[in-house]
A and B are shown apart, each in its own frame.
Chain A
Amino acid sequence: MSRVAEFIFRRRGRSGWHWTDVFTWVWLIGGLFIMFGPAVWLVGSSFKSPAALAEFPPTIMPYVTQKATVEGYDKPLDLYEVTMPDGSKTVLAEVRRIGIVSQMVSPDKPTEIVKVKIAERTPVRTMSFATSNYSEPFTHFDFVRYLWNSVFVTVTATLITLIVNSMAAFALSKYEFRGRTFAMLLILATLMVPLSVIMVPLYSIVSALGLFNNLWGVILPTVATPTGVFILRQYMLTIPDELIDAARMDKASEWQIYWRIILPLTAPALAVLAIFSVVWRWNDFLWPLIVLSRKELYTLQVGLSIYSGELNVQWHFILAMTVVTMIPVVLVFIFLQRFITTGIAGTGLK
């Protein structure tokens, strides 16, 4: 342990603090807050009640003001800690507030009203997790249906993406043909065309193919990605051509060369693309929203939009369900990042 601590806390200025030490700590801690702050806030807030969400100033953790039922009052009253004029502190329940003065009662003596300035009281709060944010959507929101749709779209689209893009990359990296560079540039050029530009023609095509209100209509337009072809092609260029020559001598067909030699050796790049594809497809909102209009076909992201109505946004449900939708992406990343290591393509050679 002491060695770990020594490693973490060592400084450039041996005895004192060099300015780079200060800068490093500020930079890293600042980065930590910027990276993790939103995620922590999201998880914390997903357990807040709607009232706690609207509270200002906001808190990270979910707090609720304690309430007490006082004799003679129908509703439970909020409890406050009050500093009395003589300096002692006591807990009182607020009946009503008029301007900067609050009328309060002691839970023990419900008839006797005490007037307190609002600056002299602080709410009594305890941490409380509103787990109903999670449990309720599962019962009255068709979560399992949406989850299944999302999983189907993500898994299918990712598998097709990997196969289609790796085939294109194989041809563009390992076959010599006229117009190879032009084809690659053409594919890369499509990176410059945003979805909003091609949305209408794409919709016409999907509709003409009868894929409107069909999950395949969400999957198929997204599977060929220029980014994927580019990542895989650059990686395949590093696989030595002699391996392919050797496979040809070994009577391997072109398909076998692709399937049994090139694909296994491209695993690190495939893992990267798989992560990208899963994140893209899982978080897709606009395109599924356009293609899917029947509720039972909604993906999670589209389904979540049910909670933001025109007049009322149910943030507590949105936050809770956002946390749930994040979990698979995080799991995929943790699982696949093992494969993002340096390739082994060169290890069979001298």
Chain B
Amino acid sequence: MGHIKLTNVTKSFGAVDVLHDINLEIKDGEFVVFVGPSGCGKSTLLRMIAGLEKPTGGELAIDGKVVNDVPAADRGLAMVFQSYALYPHMSVRQNLAFGLENTRMPKAEIAERIGEAARMLEIEAYLERRPGQLSGGQRQRVAIGRAIVRRPVAFLLDEPLSNLDAELRGSTRAELAALHARLSATMIYVTHDQVEAMTLADRIVVLRAGRIEQIGTPLELYNRPANRFVAGFIGSPHMNFLEGTLEAAGAGTAVATLKGGHQLQVPIADGTAAAEGPITLGVRPHHITLDAGENSIPAKIRLVEALGSETVLHADVAGQKILIVAPGQHNLAQGDDVRLSLSAAPIHLFNDRGIRLERAV
């Protein structure tokens, strides 16, 4: 049905390599999100699956059939473009029908499919209008509708929400999730917004500079990021990174010394105990508590952002910037001294190459 497999796929534009050795398997009915900073190659990867770009090397298979040389139209996929790319001179109905007419489908069936998609997306009221007369959100629905009527093996969505305002983006995101549940079709979704990735995905593929950094479920990526890049990219606000050094201290534990001399005991898997030396300690802003107890770290507040339900504190720990999200409201001001506790926090350790060190379980 919608099983897509990429084996050692590479892509270069002239002398510039944009994708290196991509290996990825997408199961039927899965919602996979490609996420990464702009220019990481995620859109190119999607366009390659769509058939709009040809891979330079490697193999691309859909449902077990190699499709490297199959034109876009014959791959049975449908794509929703970032700009929507609706045909401006056709009415919404004609936009939806265009792809079906090209397959010489009988008129009655075209009408039936359009009616069904229009009901599903609630665009019946403006089927006779042209795209120029629609709002951004309506155009977005039409673009999705154009994909739905094709009944594709898989949907490819290229940053479909990036042109909507924040409120509409939230509700459309929920509708997309509902649509996926209803159609149970494979969906590949490209975004640079990690919130969209976290909320929609069955699995997330994190890309950087043309390479896959990590593939996993949203919570896997959140809880066990493979490296410092993934750790920093997934989660909002992003993870704090504190420089320090690591020394082994007996079986299964090590002592991390932060800049400024503060020491922390960290459990560490035996195999990685040899990673003594400079390390980066990662801790999520939500896991830091304001606590003047034993072994707390002194910090100075630089900025307070009171959001009502929670308070975002920007602070300095021995010259390193740190972000704390404290639940509730706090009577703090710039320049105040606080003490932070990491005792309740899951601490991530990254070696000097940014690779995560496994902790003792």
Given A249-B77, A250-B99, A251-B103, verify A344-B89 contact (CB < 8 Å): yes
Q: Which of B51, B73, B83 contacts A242 (CB 8 A)?
A: B83
Q: How far is the CA of A10 from the CA of B72 in the complex (A)?
A: 62
Q: How large is the interface on B (under 10, 10 to 19, 20 to 34, 35 or more residues)?
A: 20 to 34
Contact between chains at A265 and B88 (CB < 8 Å): yes
Contact between chains at B52 and A248 (CB < 8 Å): yes
Contact between chains at A350 and B73 (CB < 8 Å): no
Check A181 for interface membership: any CB of B closer than 8 A: no
Contact between chains at A347 and B84 (CB < 8 Å): no
Write out, one digit per residue, whether chain A residues 162-193 have a CB within 8 A of any chain B CB (1) or not (0).
00000000000000000000000000000000
Contact between chains at B139 and A261 (CB < 8 Å): no
A244 nearest in chain B by CB position: B85
Chain B residues, Cβ within 8 Å of A251: 73-74, 99, 102-103
Contact between chains at A350 and B131 (CB < 8 Å): no
Check B50 for interface membership: any CB of A closer than 8 A: yes
A window 86-110: CB within 8 A of B: none
Q: How far is the CA of A344 from the CA of B51 in the complex (A)?
A: 28
Chain B residues, Cβ within 8 Å of A256: 102
Chain A residues, Cβ within 8 Å of B132: 344, 347-348
Check A58 for interface membership: any CB of B closer than 8 A: no
Check B298 for interface membership: any CB of A closer than 8 A: no
Contact between chains at A245 and B85 (CB < 8 Å): yes
Q: How far is the CA of A227 from the CA of B208 in the complex (A)?
A: 46
A343 nearest in chain B by CB position: B88
Q: Tell me how far the C-beta of B67 lies from the nearest C-beta in chain A, rounded to whole angstroms.
A: 14
Check B148 for interface membership: any CB of A closer than 8 A: no
Write out, one digit per residue, whether chain B residues 78-99 have a CB within 8 A of any chain A CB (1) or not (0).
1101111111110000010011
User: Count the A residues whose beta carbon is within 8 Å of the partner chain — how many?
Assistant: 24
Contact between chains at B89 and A264 (CB < 8 Å): yes
Given A249-B77, A251-B102, verify A348-B88 contact (CB < 8 Å): yes
Write out, one digit per residue, whether chain B residues 116-152 have a CB within 8 A of any chain A CB (1) or not (0).
0000000000000011100010010000001000100
Given A242-B83, A249-B78, A251-B73, verify A345-B88 contact (CB < 8 Å): yes
Chain B residues, Cβ within 8 Å of A247: 87, 98
Q: Tell me how far the C-beta of A265 lies from the nearest C-beta in chain B, rounded to whole angstroms.
A: 6
Check A327 for interface membership: any CB of B closer than 8 A: no
Contact between chains at A348 and B99 (CB < 8 Å): no
Q: How far is the CA of A280 from the CA of B85 in the complex (A)?
A: 37
Interface of A is mostly: helix
Contact between chains at A249 and B79 (CB < 8 Å): yes
Q: Which of A243, A248, A261 contacts B73 (CB 8 A)?
A: A248
Contact between chains at A240 and B99 (CB < 8 Å): no
Given A256-B102, A347-B132, A350-B83, verify A249-B50 contact (CB < 8 Å): yes
Q: Which of A240, A245, A250, A347 contacts B102 (CB 8 A)?
A: A250
Check B320 for interface membership: any CB of A closer than 8 A: no
Q: How far is the CA of A255 from the CA of B150 in the complex (A)?
A: 21
Q: How far is the CA of A240 from the CA of B85 in the complex (A)?
A: 8
Contact between chains at B52 and A350 (CB < 8 Å): no
Contact between chains at A245 and B52 (CB < 8 Å): yes
Q: Which of B51, B79, B136 contacts A350 (CB 8 A)?
A: B136
Q: Which of B47, B72, B87, B150 contacts A348 (CB 8 A)?
A: B87
Q: How far is the CA of A279 from the CA of B139 in the complex (A)?
A: 41
Q: How far is the CA of A264 from the CA of B150 in the complex (A)?
A: 24
Q: Tell me how far the C-beta of B155 lies from the nearest C-beta in chain A, rounded to whole angstroms.
A: 11
Q: Tell me how far the C-beta of B70 lies from the nearest C-beta in chain A, rounded to whole angstroms.
A: 12
Check B7 for interface membership: any CB of A closer than 8 A: no
Q: How far is the CA of A252 from the CA of B97 in the complex (A)?
A: 12
Q: How far is the CA of A345 from the CA of B85 in the complex (A)?
A: 10
Q: Tell me how far the C-beta of A294 lies from the nearest C-beta in chain B, rounded to whole angstroms.
A: 45
Contact between chains at B98 and A240 (CB < 8 Å): no
Q: Which of A240, A249, A347, A349 contacts B72 (CB 8 A)?
A: A249
Contact between chains at B73 and A250 (CB < 8 Å): yes
Q: How far is the CA of A347 from the CA of B89 in the complex (A)?
A: 9
Check A159 for interface membership: any CB of B closer than 8 A: no
Check A246 for interface membership: any CB of B closer than 8 A: yes
Q: How far is the CA of A220 from the CA of B299 in the complex (A)?
A: 84
Chain A residues, Cβ within 8 Å of B95: 348
Q: Which residue numbers of B lie inside 8 Å of A, CB to CB? A: 47, 50-52, 71-74, 77-79, 81-89, 95, 98-99, 102-103, 130-132, 136, 139, 146, 150, 163
9 closest residue pairs by CB, A with B: A347-B132, A250-B99, A348-B86, A348-B88, A350-B163, A349-B83, A251-B73, A246-B85, A348-B131
A-B contact pairs, 23 of them (CB 8 A): A242-B82, A245-B79, A246-B79, A246-B85, A246-B86, A248-B51, A248-B72, A248-B73, A249-B50, A249-B73, A250-B73, A251-B73, A251-B103, A261-B87, A344-B89, A344-B132, A346-B88, A347-B131, A348-B84, A348-B86, A349-B86, A350-B83, A350-B136
Q: Given A245-B47, A246-B85, output 14 extra A-B contacts at Cβ < 8 Å.
A: A240-B85, A246-B81, A246-B86, A248-B73, A249-B73, A249-B77, A250-B98, A260-B98, A265-B88, A344-B88, A344-B89, A346-B88, A349-B86, A350-B84
